[in-house]
Structure 1
Amino acid sequence: MTTNNAAFVPPWARWTLATVLGLTLLRLAVLKVSPLDLLPDEAQYWSWSRDFAFGYFSKPPLIAWLIAATTKLAGDMEYGVRLSSPLCHAVAAFALYRLGATLGDGRLGFWSALTYATLPGVTFSSTLISTDAPLLAAWAVALLAYVEAPKAPTIRWSAMLGLSIGIGFLAKYAMAYFVVAAALHALWSRDARGFWLSKRGLLAVAIALLCIAPNVIWNATNGWATFGHTAANAAWNDSATDTEGALPWIGSQFGVFGPILLGALLVRIALLRRHPADLTERFLLCFTLTPLVIVLVQAVIARAHANWAAPAYVAGSVWAVRWLLATGRKRIAAASIVLHLAVMLVFYVYAAGVATMPLPKVLDAPLAFRRGWSSMARDVRNRSYELPYASIITVDRKTMAALTYYLRDHPAPLVIIPTGPVPGNQFELTQPIDAKTGAHGLLVLPFEGDSPVTQRFEKADAVGRLFQRIGTGRQRVYRYLEVTGFKG
C-alpha cells in the first residue's frame, strides 16, 4: 500500500483537532445533563468495576477498568460511569486522521476523522458505556500501527500494534475479526507477509499475547466463563436456517453507518471487477469486509445485533471517503456528514432532556429502554422500608443490575434466584440467594401473572405493583411479593 509520511498537514490537522474536540465536548455536555438512566448492561459493568479482576462473566475486563477509573475521577453518577465512551471515540477519530493522512493526504485524514466521528452508530454509542467504544479506539490505533510499523525506523509502532490488538481483546473478543482481516491481507500482500514473519511482526504478536494472557488465565480458572458466554450468545443452536435473521441485520447497518455511506460502499464493491482495488484499497477492503461477512454469516445462522459488525466501519469510513473524493464525489461525502449531524443534533436534544415531545415508537426506542430504572429502584427502596426485610430478591439480570446500581447505598442485601444449576450471569455467580437472605425478603418480579418462582418459598404474598410508562407505546410492569422461607 502507498503511504505518505507527511501525516500532520496544516490546516487539515488543525481542522480535525477543532472538530473532533468540539464534538467530544458536546457529547460530554450531553452526558452531564442527560436524565437518561443507566441501561442494565451499563449498571452491570459498574458493579464489576467495584471488584478488580482480569475477567468477568460475560465480558473481558477493560470495560470495568475504565469505569473504575472514570468514577474515581468524576463520581458514581451516570456521567462518571459513561465518561470514557466519548473519549474513546475521540481517540479513534484522531487515529483515523493520521491513518487517512498517511495513506493519502491531510484532506483524506480530515474527511475520514469527521466521517467516523459523525456516524449514527458513534453518536448513539457516545451516550452510553459499552465495550464497543474501547474496542473501536483500539481497532483504529491498531490499523494505524499496522500501516506505520513496517516502515518505521524503530520498533515503537510494532509495539503499539501488539499493544492495541491486546487492548482490543481486553475490550471485546470481536477484536478477533482484526486478526482474521490481517491474515487475509497477508495472503493478498507480499509486504504484509514479510512484516508478520519479521522480528517486528513477531514482537507485535508476542506483545498482544502477553496482554491477553491474564484474561485467558482468569477464564481457565473460572470454568471458561466468558468464552462460554460468548459462544452461547451466538445462539447457533437456535439456527434460523434462512435469511429471517439476516435481513433485519442488513437493514440495521444502514442506521449504524448511514444510508449514504453504506450505499457508496455497496456501489464500490459492485464496481471492483471493472475497477480493481489498488494496494491501499485492498488493505481497507480486508478490514471492512471481514467483520461484515463474519457477522452476516452469524445473522444467517442464528442472530446478530446491529453493533456486532461496528469495527467494519473504522476502515470503512476511510475506504468510503477515499473512493468518493478520488472519483469527484465530494458532495456525496459532505451530504452524508450533514445528514449525520442533523440526526446527531436531534438525538442529543432528546437525550439531554431538552425536548419532551413524544417520538414515534421506532425512533423513541433508543431512549425508551434507558428510562424508568431509577424510578423503579426508588419505588423498591420505599417499599423495602415498610417492613424489616432481610433482603431484596429478584430473578432476572436486568432488574438485578439496575437495583445494584441505584440501591448502592441500601443496607439490605440484594440477591438473585438462580435460573438453573449453573450460573447464568455474574450476579448468579456472586450474589445468589441462600437460606439466610431468603428467610424474609421483598421479591421484585418484572412481569405480570403467576410465576413458578413463588413456589420456591414457603409463603409468598402480593404486596403491590408498579406500572411504568417508559416511552411511546412501551411500559414495564413489576410485581412485589413478601416472601418467607426459601426452600432452595
Structure 2
Amino acid sequence: MNPSLPGRWPSLLIGLAAVAVDAAVFGLFHADANALGLAHGAGFFAALLVAFSLLAAFEPSWRALSFKQWVRLGLLALLILFLRGGLLGSLMQMVGAGDTMATAATAATMATMATAAALMTALFSALAMYAGYRWLADAGGLEEGASALRRDRLCLAAVGYAVLLRLFYLGVPELLFEEAYYWNYAQHLDIGYLDHPLAVAWLIRLFIELLGNTEFAVRAAAFLCGLVTAGFMYRLTRELFDRATAYRALLLVAVLPAYFFFGFFMSPDAPVTACWAAAIYFMYQAVIKEKPRAWLGVGIALGLGMSSKYTIALLGAAFVAFVLYDRRARQWLKRPQPYGALLLALMLMSPVVIWNWQHDWISFAFQSQDRLASKFSFSLPRLIGNILVLLTPTGLLSVVALLTYRKEAILPASAAGAADQQRRGRLLLIWLALLPLAVFTAASLIRISKLNWTGSLWLALIPLLAGLIGPATASNLPKLSAWCRRAWPATLVLCLLLYGATLHWLSLGLPGVGYPKNQHLIGWRDFGREIEVRLQQARRATGQEVLVVGMDRNRIASGLAFYRTQYLDGAGGAGGHPPAFDTASEHLFDSVGLMYRLWFPAERQTGKTLLLVADNAASLSSERVLSRVQKAGDIEAIDVRKQGKPAGRYYVRLVSGYHDLATAEGQPRADGESDD
C-alpha cells in the first residue's frame, strides 16, 4: 500500500518549498550557459530531496517505503524529469536564452526570462509529481487484479504522456539531415520530386508559412499526422472489440517506436502512415461492414497516400487481393463504388504522375527499377533487426503469438458483432499486414533493407495486438501469449524512458555523455551562423555572389540552407539570395545530388565562386575538385559544439572559376593546394 499524502496545507507548503529549491538550484548551476542540462537535473533532484524529507517529517509512513515503492517513485521521477526537460528547452528557445550573439542589455533581459522559464518548469514538475503519484505510481494498473477503470486510466495517462513528450520536444532538437532536405523541398515547391512525392513538401511549406523557419514548424505536420493515425486506429479497434481494447490500441500507436518517431520527425512516413491508417479503417468499413460510402474514404486515403509515399501501393494491392479472395467482398466487383474509389485515387495522385511525365518518369524509375538494379545484398537479418527496432522484441513476439495462436482465446471476449463478421475482419487485417511484409521480405533477400520499410504495415495488426495487453480473459492461454501480456507494461514504460532520455540528450544534453561527431545536425544553429558570416565576408572580399556547396550527397547542403536561413531570420534577413537558392551539393563535382542536380544544374554554375563545406579535408583537395576550379584558397577548420561539448569538425575552402568538365576543355587547373 502506498503511503498517504499529508493534508491540503502541508502538501501545498511542501510543493512550494520544492518549487523554490528547484528554481534556486537551477539558477546557481545555469550561471554557465553550457550547463543547461546539468542545471535542470540538479534543480529537479534537489527539489525531490527536499520534498521527500518534508513528507517523511509530516507522514511517518514515508519513512518505511519498500524497495518496490522506491523503484516506482524513481521511474515516475525520471519520466517527469525527461518531460519537463522538453518544456524547459521549449521555453528557453522561445526567450532566446541560448543566443550567443545577444548584447549585454538583451542578455540581462534573457537571463530574467530564463529564470521565469525555470520557475514555470519547477511548478509544472511539482504538479506532475503530485498527479503522477496519485495516478501513475501504482504500476500494477495493467496487471491481474486491477480494476478495469484503473487500467483504462493508466492507458490514457501513458498516451497523454507520450503526446506531451513529443509536443514539448518538437522544436527543441536540431533537425535531422533528412528533415532539412525535405525543408528544401518546401523552398523549391513543386508537384513532384525525384525521391518522394509532394505531400511532405507541401505540409512543411504550410506550417513554415504560419510559424516561420523553425524546427517546430517543420515537424508540426508530423505531430498532427500522428494524431490522425491514432484516431483512426482507435475507431477501428472500438468497432472490432470494445473501448478498453481501443484505449490499448491508442497506447500502442503512442508508444511503439515506429509510430512515436513517425509522429515526431518530419518525413514522408508521417503523412503516409496517417493515410495508411485511414485506408485500413475505410477498407474495413467497405468490405466487412459493407458501407458503400466507405469506398469514398478508401479512394481519398490511397490517393493522398500515393502523394505521400509510393509504398502505400502495397496496401492497395493487398486489399485488391483480399477482395478477389473473399466471397462476400467479391460482390463489390459488380458495383460502381470500387471503380469510383480507384478513379478518385488516380485523380488525387495525378500531380505526381504529371511531374513524372514532365521529367521522363525519373521518380517512378528511381523508386522501382533503379532500386532493383542496385548492388546485390542479402539483408533479411537486417530486416528482422529493423522490425525489432520498430516494434520492440515484445511487439514482434506478440505478432508471432497472434499469427501462431489466432484460433486460441487470445483476443477480447467482449468483441461485438456476428461471428462471421469478426472472422472476416480479423482475416482482412492480417491479410493487409502480411502481403506487404512478404514483398519487403522478398526484397531483403536481394537488396539492402531500410529501417522504415515495414513501419506503416504493422498498423493493420494494432487492433489485434491491443488485445494482448492487459489481463487474460482465459486461463489456458499459450505460454507465449501469456508472456507477452506480462511483458507489455514493462516494455511500454521502458520505451517512454528511452524516448525521454534520447530527446533530453539531443536537446539539453546529459551529464557526462558527449555527442557523436558530424552526425545529424547537432550544434548546427551556431554552425549555420558561422558559415553565413564567412559567406558574407567572401562576398565582400570578392565582390561576387558566392554559392555554398555541401560536399556530400545532400546532407550538408540541406542543413546549411536551413540553419543559415534561421540565422538570417533572426538577424533581420541580411545577406544575398535566400540560402535555399544559393546552397548546392556535391553533384557539381560528379557525385550524386538527388534533387540538387535538378535545382542547380552544373552547366549553369560556370564561372561562379564557391564556398565548399566538407566533413573531411581530403575531399576539398581531391583531383575531382581541383580539376573543376581555376583557383582554390586555403582550407580552414570549424569546430561544432553543443552545450559546450564537441559535436564535430567541418572544413571550408573558397574556390573560384568553377567549370563543369563537360565544358572544361582548355580551362586551367586550380593552383591552390590543401594546407592539411
Shorter-chain TM-score above 0.5: yes
Mean Cα deviation higher: 21-30 or 207-216: 21-30
Query: In the alignment, what sits opposite 2:226?
Result: 89
Amino acid at match of 1:445: A
Structure 1 gap segments, 5+ residues each = 1-9
> How is 1:51-200 mapped onto 2 (pairs within 5 angstroms)?
51-150=188-287, 155-200=292-337
Query: In the alignment, what sits opposite 2:495?
Result: 340
> How is 1:413-452 mapped onto 2 (pairs within 5 angstroms)?
413-416=582-585, 418=587, 424-433=593-602, 438-449=607-618, 450-451=621-622, 452=624
Amino acid at match of 1:377: G
Mean Cα deviation higher: 128-137 or 383-392: 383-392
Partners in 2 of 1:464 and 1:27 — Cα distance? Answer: 38
Query: In the alignment, what sits opposite 2:532?
Result: 381
Compared with structure 1, are the counterparts of its residues 16 and 260 closer, same or farther at alpha carbon in structure 2 (3 Å cutoff)? closer
The answer to whether the aligner puts 1:44 opposite 2:181 as a matched pair is yes
Residue identity (%): 24
Cα drift, residue 145 of structure 1: 0.7
Partners in 1 of 2:391 and 2:628 — Cα distance? Answer: 48
The answer to whether the aligner puts 1:258 opposite 2:392 as a matched pair is yes
Please give the secondary structure, in 2, of the residue aligned with 1:317: helix
Cα drift, residue 80 of structure 1: 0.7
Correspondence for 2:430 among 285, 291, 297: 285
Partners in 1 of 2:150 and 2:338 — Cα distance? Answer: 34
Partners in 2 of 1:271 and 1:153 — Cα distance? Answer: 28
The answer to whether the aligner puts 1:484 opposite 2:629 as a matched pair is no
Please give the secondary structure, in 2, of the residue aligned with 1:415: strand
> How is 1:285-364 mapped onto 2 (pairs within 5 angstroms)?
285-322=430-467, 329=482, 330-353=485-508, 355-358=510-513
Correspondence for 2:165 among 23, 26, 30: 26
Query: In the alignment, what sits opposite 1:466?
Result: 638
Partners in 2 of 1:61 and 1:160 — Cα distance? Answer: 20
Is the CA contact 2:589–2:625 (under 8 Å) kept in the aligned structure 1? no
Please give the secondary structure, in 2, of the residue aligned with 1:385: helix
Correspondence for 1:404 among 561, 579, 585: 561
Compared with structure 1, are the counterparts of its residues 482 and 354 closer, same or farther at alpha carbon in structure 2 (3 Å cutoff)? closer
Compared with structure 1, are the counterparts of its residues 326 and 303 closer, same or farther at alpha carbon in structure 2 (3 Å cutoff)? farther
Query: In the alignment, what sits opposite 2:14?
Result: none
Partners in 2 of 1:370 and 1:235 — Cα distance? Answer: 31
Amino acid at match of 2:192: G
Is the CA contact 1:435–1:485 (under 8 Å) kept in the aligned structure 2? no
CA offsets, 1:262-312, max 9 Å, x none?
112123334469999943332121122223222222222110111111112
Compared with structure 1, are the counterparts of its residues 261 and 437 closer, same or farther at alpha carbon in structure 2 (3 Å cutoff)? same
Amino acid at match of 1:252: N
CA offsets, 1:88-134, max 9 Å, x none?
11111111111111112222211112112110122233331111111
Cα drift, residue 48 of structure 1: 1.8
Is the CA contact 2:288–2:425 (under 8 Å) kept in the aligned structure 1? no
Please give the secondary structure, in 2, of the residue aligned with 1:304: coil
CA offsets, 1:229-282, max 9 Å, x none?
223663543012xx4x22122112111111101112123334469999943332
Is the CA contact 2:610–2:658 (under 8 Å) kept in the aligned structure 1? no
TM-score (norm 1): 0.85
Cα drift, residue 53 of structure 1: 2.2
Partners in 2 of 1:96 and 1:459 — Cα distance? Answer: 60
Partners in 1 of 2:365 and 2:194 — Cα distance? Answer: 9
Please give the secondary structure, in 1, of the residue aligned with 2:315: helix
Is the CA contact 1:284–1:316 (under 8 Å) kept in the aligned structure 2? yes
Compared with structure 1, are the counterparts of its residues 63 and 380 closer, same or farther at alpha carbon in structure 2 (3 Å cutoff)? same
Q: Quick one: higher RCO (CA 8 Å, sep 6+), 1 or 2?
A: 1
Partners in 2 of 1:298 and 1:178 — Cα distance? Answer: 16
The answer to whether the aligner puts 1:456 opposite 2:607 as a matched pair is no
Cα drift, residue 44 of structure 1: 1.8
Q: CA RMSD in A?
A: 3.3
Query: In the alignment, what sits opposite 1:6?
Result: none
Cα drift, residue 383 of structure 1: 2.0
Q: How many residues align?
A: 469
Is the CA contact 1:448–1:477 (under 8 Å) kept in the aligned structure 2? no
Cα drift, residue 175 of structure 1: 0.4
Compared with structure 1, are the counterparts of its residues 319 and 484 closer, same or farther at alpha carbon in structure 2 (3 Å cutoff)? same
Cα drift, residue 174 of structure 1: 0.8
Please give the secondary structure, in 1, of the residue aligned with 2:264: coil
Amino acid at match of 1:411: G
Partners in 1 of 2:239 and 2:506 — Cα distance? Answer: 36
Is the CA contact 1:85–1:129 (under 8 Å) kept in the aligned structure 2? yes
Partners in 2 of 1:104 and 1:70 — Cα distance? Answer: 37
Cα drift, residue 61 of structure 1: 0.4
Partners in 2 of 1:344 and 1:125 — Cα distance? Answer: 13
Is the CA contact 2:382–2:449 (under 8 Å) kept in the aligned structure 1? no
Please give the secondary structure, in 1, of the residue aligned with 2:637: strand
Is the CA contact 2:194–2:595 (under 8 Å) kept in the aligned structure 1? yes
Is the CA contact 2:585–2:593 (under 8 Å) kept in the aligned structure 1? no
Compared with structure 1, are the counterparts of its residues 253 and 21 closer, same or farther at alpha carbon in structure 2 (3 Å cutoff)? same
Please give the secondary structure, in 2, of the residue aligned with 1:258: helix
Partners in 1 of 2:626 and 2:246 — Cα distance? Answer: 60
> How is 1:365-376 mapped onto 2 (pairs within 5 angstroms)?
368-376=519-527
Compared with structure 1, are the counterparts of its residues 236 and 334 closer, same or farther at alpha carbon in structure 2 (3 Å cutoff)? farther
Partners in 1 of 2:181 and 2:187 — Cα distance? Answer: 10
Mean Cα deviation higher: 260-269 or 333-342: 333-342
Amino acid at match of 1:405: F
Cα drift, residue 210 of structure 1: 1.3
Mean Cα deviation higher: 131-140 or 448-457: 448-457
Is the CA contact 2:315–2:432 (under 8 Å) kept in the aligned structure 1? yes
Mean Cα deviation higher: 277-286 or 417-426: 417-426
CA offsets, 1:313-362, max 9 Å, x none?
21122222235666664444434433333333333333442634417x9x
